[in-house]
Amino acid sequence: MKNPFLIVFSLLLLTSSSPPETFDDGQNNWVSLFDGKSLAGWHRYNKPDTPTAWVVREGELTFDPTLVRQGDRGHDIVTDKEFSNFQLSLEWNIAEGGNSGIFWGVQELPEYGKPYVTGPEVQVLDNERHPDSKVNPNFHQAGALYDLVQPSEEVCLPAGSWNHFLITINYTTNEGSIELNGTKIVEFPLYGEEWDALVAGSKFNNPRGYKDFGKFRTGKIGLQDHGDVIAFRNIKIREL
């Protein structure tokens, strides 16, 4: 069990800022996936409700494990809407020793128990303290395409700081990429022989547990509960 004092202290480290509702770069409109006030547009994975442990504080969408009710399981949340080709921009702030993730291409069916059964994950992590940061060797670091492609360089800010992702998913061109704090650190295909080779060399090479992993070109975006304090803000998307 995590130390309650450390959880509360970690929460205090997360700085605040309210996101605007729409965005425009002069060419394409960005649409907010989080209004800064509520969980509108999101729901618990495979269920219609929203978990009580996800709360909005000063414009930040925060998972607070101290609010998990006894016996309540499954706190990953996903968007109500599905997306295919898009850019996703968001900021995240992980507590010390924390772990979380961002999914796309998520499908909701009873046979899929977790978002990661179908949706690839962009890792969110405290690289300095969490043991996953040293796995294989860097395939589980912040910004990695989890267990598939490791970051090309280390540009992550420490736990308690706000980091920014720009995630591009384009099935039309078969191109995916992850930018962390303005630096492109991961590029990958989304299907075909190269994608199949990535999956074959990963933990997802399991036809029983992950037979449909990464196979859907349309799906929901998800935010992961990994039992640690994590906050997101300025969550916006533009479809390509």
Which domains, and CATH codes, for the chain? 4-239 (2.60.120.560)
Tell me how far apart the alpha carbons of residues 164 and 232 are, in angstroms, rounded to a whole number: 10
Q: Give per-residue burial for 114-135: e unless 16+ CB within 10 Å, then b.
A: bbbbbbbbbbbbbbeebebbee
Burial zone of 139 (CB within 10 Å; 0-12 exposed, 13-18 middle, 19+ buried): buried
Of residues 88, 103, 91, 79, the one with CA closest to residue 234: 91
Of residues 99, 94, 80, 95, the one with CA closest to residue 34: 80
Tell me how far apart the alpha carbons of residues 140 and 100 are, in angstroms, rounded to a whole number: 11
Q: What does the pLDDT read at residue 28?
A: 66
Q: What does the pLDDT read at residue 27?
A: 53
Q: What does the pLDDT read at residue 135?
A: 83
Of residues 160, 222, 219, 153, the one with CA closest to residue 186: 153
Q: What does the pLDDT read at residue 25?
A: 52
* Cβ atoms < 10 Å from Cβ of 105: 25
Whole-model pTM?
0.89
Tens digits of pLDDT across the chain (240 residues)? 444 444 444 444 454 433 334 444 555 689 999 999 999 999 999 999 999 999 999 999 999 999 998 888 899 999 999 999 999 999 999 999 999 999 999 999 999 999 999 999 999 999 999 999 988 899 999 999 999 999 999 999 999 999 999 999 999 999 999 999 999 999 999 999 999 999 999 999 998 899 999 999 999 999 999 999 999 999 999 999
Tokens of 158: 């420490």
Tell me how far apart the alpha carbons of residues 106 and 151 are, in angstroms, rounded to a whole number: 23
Q: What does the pLDDT read at residue 17?
A: 37
Could you tell me if 204 and 1 are in contact, meaning their C-beta atoms sit under 8 angstroms apart? no
Tokens of 17: 């800022």
Q: What does the pLDDT read at residue 71?
A: 83
Q: Are strands 77-83 and 42-44 parallel, antiparallel or unpaired?
A: antiparallel
CA 54 to centroid of chain Cα atoms: 14
